[in-house]
Amino acid sequence: MTSGDLSTVDWARVFAEAVEIVLRYTKYDVEDLVEDGMERLLAGEAPWDPSSEPSLAEHVVQVGLSVRRNRMRTERRRHNPKVVSKMTQMVEDARPPTPEEDAADAEERHRKRLLLEELLEDLADDPEAHSIVLLEIDGVHGALEQAEHAAADMETVRRARRRVARRVQALIERAEQDEAAS
């Protein structure tokens, strides 16, 4: 046999030798283990060098044992509670929302839009607080940035933000009471 030439190998003899070697380690799944080793060898995933120490049969067994260890490790990981919860979360995040969830989301967005409109109506008589809410809608969230955009001093912005917070809290409490009453 030439170096690395597997076309002239007596595979039946190699298989029998590998089975005999595996029987020293285990009596379970012997043929599957040898087949896995041969499959990887022939696929080129585990090349064998004829000039190296292990014989072809021993190499097939080593590759088969490696495949088996990897498979067992994968199975252990599949049953690990941390991995199971991570995979469950990934599947839950990837799935499209159900019609019920879509309806609930749409209802929540509608409720928030109504509360925002009500807040803007409540603040119609308070131009500083009204401008703070509009800045929040536009994505300007920090007090310093709001002061720059509104061309106001920090104290004015802070007082306006506190008034907005009180009005928002009052609207939320009123909405919760209305919801509990219905």
Instruction: Check if the beta carbon of residue 77 is closer than 8 Å to that of residue 83.
Output: yes
* Cβ neighbours for 28, distance < 8 A, ≥ 6 positions apart: none
Q: Give pTM, 2 decimals.
A: 0.44
CA angle 7, 11, 17 (to 5 degrees): 140
Domain segments of the chain as ranges: 11-82, 99-181
Distance CA 166, CA 39 (A): 71
Task: From first to last of the 182 residues of the chain, give the pLDDT tens digit.
Answer: 334 677 778 888 888 888 888 887 777 778 887 888 888 888 888 888 777 778 888 888 888 888 888 888 888 888 888 888 888 888 877 778 888 888 888 998 998 898 889 989 988 899 999 999 999 888 888 888 988 888 889 999 999 999 999 999 998 888 888 888 87
Run of H or E including 124: none
Instruction: Check if the beta carbon of residue 75 is closer than 8 Å to that of residue 44.
Output: no
CATH pick for 99-181 out of 3.10.20, 3.30.450, 1.10.3470, 1.10.10: 1.10.10
The closest alpha carbon to 87, from 68, 69, 74, 70, belongs to: 74
